[in-house]
Chain A
C-alpha cells in the first residue's frame, strides 16, 4: 500500500478553493503570504547600495537611504543575478535583477586584471550600484542569487548600519 500512500500525498487530500478559470494547484507546504503581503506597509524610500565582489560572491559595502520611492525595475531587464530582500520568515519582500552586463563574468576571467577593448573596459571584479526598496524593520536579510544559487547574504541590520542606522 506504499504506492497508495504516495498517491494520496501527491493528491493532497485537502480540498482547495477553486477560482475561475481553474488555476489552483494543490497548496504549497508554506501557505501563500498574499494576505500578509497585503497588510505590509509600503516601502519607506529606497537604498542605494554599493555591491562588490565577483561572479561567485557578492556583498554590500556601502548603503545610503533615500527618501524618494524606489523607481522599480527597468522595463525589460532580466538577469540571472538578483538581489532579494527577505523578511524573518524567509518570504521575499523584493527581488531586484542586477544588471551585470558591464562586467566580465566568464569563469576563466575570475581574478584576472582589467581588460580593455577599444574604449570599453571589461572587469571581472564587480563594483556597481543597486537600488532596492527599503522595507525598514520588516527586512531581515539581503541575499544575492545567480539563478537558484546563493552568492552571498548581508543582514538587514548591517545594511541599516551602513546607511547610518534608523532605516
Chain B
C-alpha cells in the first residue's frame, strides 16, 4: 500500500469512527446550581438537528433559558434548577409534516412530527422510548423532559414531554408547554361554541365554578377573578385572569399559574443541602451539648422562616440555621430534633401539601453510663381460660440492658379490657418488689388471684416495671408488656372484695385516719336472685366465732361498737350503699368514706356482707375483708 493509500485508509477509518461517534448522544450540563439531589434537573433533548446543527441546538437552549429565567416564577427560583442537554444527531434536519401535500417525512432521532392527534400545530415525538433512554443519560432527571425540534413551522405540544419548534416564538411556546408538563397546568384558551358539562377539573388554573372558588385566595390580586372560557370550552369553564401565558403567548403567567408551578417545583427540590451532624441518628451521653446546623438555598428575598423543634415542641427564639442541644435536663431515651425552613415567597399563598417547607429530622438517643434499662422479653400464663378467683401463674422474663444495675423498683400487674392499662381504672393484680436487679435477664413467676367480679370476656394482662419511675433508664418507654386471656363465668359464690385502683390483695385495704379517704367494698353474688338485698357490716373485734344469723349462716364478724356505728349510719356519708340491692350482674358496690380528722382511732377491723332474699330471708354471707385504719 502506498503512503497515499495508507493515509486515505486512515481517513476512511476515521470517517467511520466519526460517524459512529456522531450517533452517540452528547450529554452536557449547561446550567448548574447545585447537587442533583437538591435541585430540579431539567433535561432537554434535540430532535431534527443534524450533527452539524449541534450549535444551533445549544443556541436554542441558551435562548430558551435566558427567556425562562427572566419570567416569573422561574426568575425567583432560577437557582433551583440544573439543566442538562442530550444531543443525539438526526439523519435529517427538521420534523415530519404528515399533513403537508405531499407529506414531508423526516428521519429524526425521536420521530418529531406535526399534526399529532389530528391537531396541525401539535408537534410531538413518536419514538418516546429512545427519547427517554437518552434523557436517562443525563446526570439526573425529574421525569418530565423538554424537546426542541429543529423546524421553523410553528408548533408545540405537551404530555410526558414538552415539545417546541425552534422558530421565532420558540421560548414562549416552550415555557407554555412546560406549564403543562412540569406545572400540570391546563390550557386556558377556548374553542368557539363549546359548553363544558363535566365536573370540577383537577388542574389548578381552570374551574367549573363561575366564581373560581379554588383560587379565591387570589381574588382581587393581579386581576384575578373568574373569566368564562378556558380548557378548550367557550362556556362552562373559567380561568383566573383575563389573559395569561397559559392562554396566550407573550403575556406573563398569572398569579394562580405561578403559584401552582412554584409548588410543583418545590415538591421536587430539597432546599436543605448540608446538615450537621451528617448522620440522622446519634447517641449522646446526658450532659452533652450538641450543635445542630444546616444550609439551605431559599432566596433571602423570600423571607425564609427557620424553626427548630425538640420532640415536636418549637424552640422559642431558635430561628437561625444552627442550634445547640443541651442534653443535661433531657430524659434518657429517644428524642427527635427537627429543623425546618419555610419559604414565605408571596408567589405561594396556599400550600396544602407543605411543599414550601423543608424538614430534616435527627433521632437522638440520650444515654447515661449510670443508667439501667428495664424491659420485658417474655410474658406467658399457664391458663388461657381463667375463672373468677383463680390464680394463674404468670411467667415473665425481665431484662436489664444496663449498663448499671437497677433497683429498688416494683413489677406490677394489671387487668384491662383494652390494649392499654390505666392505673386508676384497671383491675390491680398486685406487685413484686425488686431490691436490686443486675444487668442481664431473669425469669420470674407471679401468681395473682384475679377478682371475683371477673366477667366472661377477653382481658389483657399487663406487666409493668418501675411504674413509679424510681429507676433512671435509658428508655422509659419499653417497661410494659401485655397478653390476653379469656375470663369465664364464675361459680355460684358469695364474696366480698375491694374494687379500688391499686388495692391488692382484694381482701384487704387501708385508710389513713388523719387525711381520710375512701375504699369500695363490693359484693359479688352472680347467682343471687334478682332484687336480693345486701348489707355490709363492720366489726373491729375479729371474725371468729362470728355472729350466727340463721341455721348454717354465720356472719364472720363479732358484733361490737363498730358494728353498731355502721348499722346506725348505714347509707350515710360514711357508709354509702352499704345497704342495697344487687344489680343485674349480681354486684353490690359500696363506698366506705372517712373524712379527714374524723376522730376515728387507728384500728384493724373487717367488713362482711350478708344477703337477704325477699322470700327466704337470710340467704348467704360473704368472706370478711380487712379494713385497716392507720
Contacts and interface: CB of A to CB of B under 8 A. Distances in A.
A39 interface: no
Interface string A113-150: 11111111111010111110000000000000000000
B482 A120 contact: no
B317 to A, nearest CB: 28
A7 B396 CA distance: 23
Nearest to B181: A102
Contact of B156 (A24, A119, A129): A119
Given A114-B117, A121-B159, A127-B128, A15 B380 contact: yes
Given A48-B141, A68-B140, A121 B483 contact: no
B124 interface: yes
A101 B116 contact: no
Interface in A98-121: 99, 101-103, 113-121
B419 interface: yes
Interface string A54-87: 0000000111101011111011110000000000
Given A11-B484, A15-B380, A71-B268, A64 B137 contact: yes
B129 A123 contact: no
Nearest to B356: A75
A119 B136 contact: no
Nearest to A101: B184
A24 B419 contact: yes
Interface in B264-297: 266-268, 270
A76 B267 CA distance: 7
Interface stretch (B69-77, B92-100, B473-481, B548-556): B473-481
A103 B158 CA distance: 11
A127 B160 contact: yes
Given A24-B419, A71-B37, A18 B462 contact: yes
B158 A64 contact: no
A128 B483 contact: no
A159 interface: no
Interface in A2-25: 4, 7-8, 11-22, 24
B420 interface: yes
Contacts of B384: 8, 13
A8 B41 CA distance: 56
A71 B36 contact: yes
A113 B118 CA distance: 11
Interface string B397-431: 00000000000000000000011110000000000
A120 B300 CA distance: 36
B133 interface: yes
A50 interface: yes
Contacts of A122: 117, 159
Nearest to A126: B160
A125 B129 CA distance: 11
B133 A118 contact: no
A116 B141 contact: no
B187 interface: yes
Interface string B128-161: 1100110111111101110000000000111110
Contact of A50 (B136, B266, B376, B379): B136
B47 interface: no
A129 B159 contact: no
A49 interface: yes
Contact of A119 (B187, B352, B481): B187
Interface residues of A, number: 55
B187 A118 contact: yes
Interface residues on B, range: 35 or more
Contacts of B421: 22
A2 B124 CA distance: 66
A77 B180 CA distance: 17
Contacts of A70: 37
Contact of A49 (B136, B177, B419, B461): B136
Contacts of B143: 99, 128-131
Nearest to B115: A116
Contacts of A24: 419, 482
A52 interface: yes
A71 to B, nearest CB: 5
B119 interface: yes
A102 B159 contact: yes
A25 to B, nearest CB: 8
Nearest to B161: A121
Interface centre among B132, B145, B458 (most CB of A within 10 A): B132
Contact of B160 (A116, A118, A128): A128
A43 to B, nearest CB: 12
B8 interface: no
Contacts of A18: 419-420, 462, 480-482
A103 B160 contact: yes
Contact of B189 (A101, A113, A118): A118
Contacts of B124: 114, 116, 121
A61 to B, nearest CB: 6
B464 to A, nearest CB: 9
A11 B380 CA distance: 13
A119 B157 contact: yes
Given A114-B117, A119-B187, A129-B145, A50 B160 contact: no
Contacts of A16: 481-483
B105 interface: no
Contacts of B353: 75-76
B435 to A, nearest CB: 25
B471 interface: no
Contacts of A49: 136
Interface centre among A15, A19, A128 (most CB of B within 10 A): A15
A53 B396 CA distance: 55
Given A62-B133, A62-B136, A103-B160, A74 B268 contact: yes
B214 interface: no
Interface string B204-232: 00000000000000000000000000001
A18 B36 CA distance: 42
B158 A119 contact: yes
B122 interface: yes
A71 B140 contact: yes
A149 to B, nearest CB: 23
B139 A129 contact: no
Contacts of B577: none
Contacts of A116: 116-119, 122, 124, 157
Given A16-B483, A76-B267, 8 more contacts: A17-B480, A24-B419, A48-B136, A50-B132, A113-B117, A118-B119, A120-B180, A121-B124
25 contacts: A11-B458, A13-B483, A13-B485, A15-B396, A16-B483, A17-B376, A17-B480, A20-B477, A22-B420, A48-B138, A48-B140, A48-B141, A62-B133, A62-B136, A71-B268, A71-B270, A75-B268, A75-B353, A76-B267, A114-B124, A116-B118, A116-B119, A120-B159, A120-B187, A129-B141
Ranked 7 nearest A-B pairs via Cβ = A116-B117, A76-B353, A15-B483, A22-B420, A121-B159, A15-B379, A127-B128
